Amino acid sequence: MTNPEILKLFIQKEVKQVSQEFLADTMCYLEKEKKGEVIKTLLYSFENVLQNCKRKGKLPDIRYIQLSLKRAKALKLEPFYQLELFDDQFILNEVIESDEVDFDWIYEEYRLYCEKIDQQSKRYFQQIENSALTRIKLAQLITCNKIVKHILVEGIVHIINLDIFQEMPLEQGIQIQIGEYRGAYQIVFTSDQYTKKIGKLWYGIL
């Protein structure tokens, strides 16, 4: 078999199985009444980064809040999600404030995923190149982002009702998004002049 054929076999047999296990284990953790705890962790990060920004007198300048995934940190098996605050120039200016998000549950699952991929690759007698393993590990981060986006979406109603969030100029359009560090992103929420009233009503209904 050629190297491309071996890689294809590796992906079909080993990577597919390990990826399915990653998704099952991660979702199982969230379903065991842990989702609320994860959302609280996210709320803590929002509260912390916004309070730090307020102490610097920069709260009125915020226009973008991004939950960023740092691929380089992920490959080093370090915590790889960070909340970043930007002004109206977004990434054209320096980040106003940032804070690492303690998503230990997904960091641990990703670490186990990478270890399993490395272990399974040894069965192929070093015919799987390190560059291919790196691409496989990076691809799994797409799944991580989908799961974390789900958490962010569910947490929005709680985020916009944080006292510190309500102090920002919401009528200016504060944009909350998720994406890769200095890369593509998806908008999850944009505030407007009705956010304060709707947020409190929404929160009361829930």
Q: Where are the beta strands (DSSP E) in the chain?
A: 64-69, 81-86, 97-100, 175-180, 185-190
Instruction: Give the pLDDT of residue 126.
Output: 79
pLDDT, one tens digit for every residue, the chain (206 residues): 677 888 999 999 999 999 999 999 999 888 876 889 999 999 999 999 999 999 999 999 999 999 999 999 999 999 999 999 999 999 889 999 999 999 999 999 999 999 999 999 998 877 899 999 999 999 999 999 999 999 999 999 999 999 999 999 999 999 999 999 988 999 999 998 777 665 555 444 44
Domain that holds residue 144: 3-205
Query: Rounded CA gap, 90 and 86, in Å?
Result: 5
Collect all residues with Cβ–Cβ distance below 8 Å to 78 and sequence separation of at least 6. Answer: none
Residues contacting 124, CB < 8 A, separation 6+: 6, 10
126: left (phi over 0), alpha (psi -120 to 50) or beta: left
State the pTM of this model: 0.90
> Cα dist. 122→17, 113, 129, 133 in Å?
16, 15, 11, 11
How many domains in the chain? 1
